[in-house]
């Protein structure tokens, strides 16, 4: 059956934000996992409280929010801490993503794009995607863009890039590739072609949603979706 979900990912400095901007211009439904990740750790949230229990108050800013840079420094060098943080935040992120997916389904969108930076690293979510899209650029371009954007030296930039799965490796898993090695107009043309292809490839949702609502009620449908997506 058609999932109506499209996973979008890339690598650091590969230009994923450029592709997302074009998709939004086209009126596509885009769910940003990074934005949700920030939302679920706001003060007084369940994840916020759990993070403080395990990482201490030293990672807090003066306004009570989590200092992402300080927390990032901890998990970057300690894999077990990164796994702990993921075990706290990932369930909350998935629940919020599911809510937004359901919202776009109800609104009648043909497909929903899930913008997930580590989609191919985690691999767990890819099985729920009808298609996966990689925003690619060649390694020299990626390195040059990262150094220019972040003001990093060669060694620092290479270390950041090497901490992720190489883009050439991710290409093997993606069903579609947007090559962002060139100029913005070239990338835009590729996104337009992809959008047209996705629009034509999927069955429309309304009949399925109507049947599901009639049989189980909206509450039952939500419950089934939650079990399907996070089990």
- State pLDDT tens for residues 108-127: 888 999 999 889 987 788 88
Sole residue written with tokens 């930076």? 117
Q: How far apart are CA 12 and CA 102, in angstroms?
A: 29
The whole-number pLDDT of residue 148 equals: 95
Those residues of the chain that have pLDDT short of 70 are 1-3, 201-231
- Supply the DSSP symbol for 27: T
Global confidence as pTM: 0.79
The whole-number pLDDT of residue 1 equals: 42
Strand partners of residue 115:
8, 32
The whole-number pLDDT of residue 106 equals: 83
The whole-number pLDDT of residue 201 equals: 67
Question: What's the fold here for domain 1-29+111-200?
Answer: Rossmann fold (3.40.50)
Strand partners of residue 205:
none
SS3 at position 135: strand
């Amino acid at each position: 059956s058609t999932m109506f979900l499209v996973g979008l990912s890339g690598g650091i400095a590969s230009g994923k934000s450029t592709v997302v901007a074009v998709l939004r211009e086209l009126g596509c439904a885009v769910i940003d996992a990074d934005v949700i990740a920030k939302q679920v750790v706001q003060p007084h949230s369940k994840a916020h409280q759990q993070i403080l229990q395990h990482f201490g108050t030293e990672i807090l800013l003066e306004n009570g929010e989590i200092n992402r840079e300080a927390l990032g420094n901890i998990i970057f060098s300690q894999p077990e801490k990164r796994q702990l943080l993921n075990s706290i935040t990932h369930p909350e992120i998935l629940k919020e993503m599911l809510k937004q997916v359901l919202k776009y389904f109800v609104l009648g969108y043909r497909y929903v794009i899930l913008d997930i930076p580590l989609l191919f690293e985690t691999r767990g979510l890819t099985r729920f995607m009808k298609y996966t899209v990689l925003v690619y650029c060649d390694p020299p371009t990626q390195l040059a863009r990262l150094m220019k954007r972040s003001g990093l030296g060669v060694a620092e930039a290479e270390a950041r890039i090497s901490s992720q799965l190489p883009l050439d490796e991710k290409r093997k898993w993606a069903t579609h590739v947007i090559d962002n090695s060139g100029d913005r107009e070239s990338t835009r043309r590729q996104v337009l072609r992809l959008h047209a292809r996705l629009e034509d490839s999927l069955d429309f949702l309304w009949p399925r949603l109507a049947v599901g609502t009639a049989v189980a009620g909206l509450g039952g449908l939500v419950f089934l979706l939650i079990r399907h997506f996070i089990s």
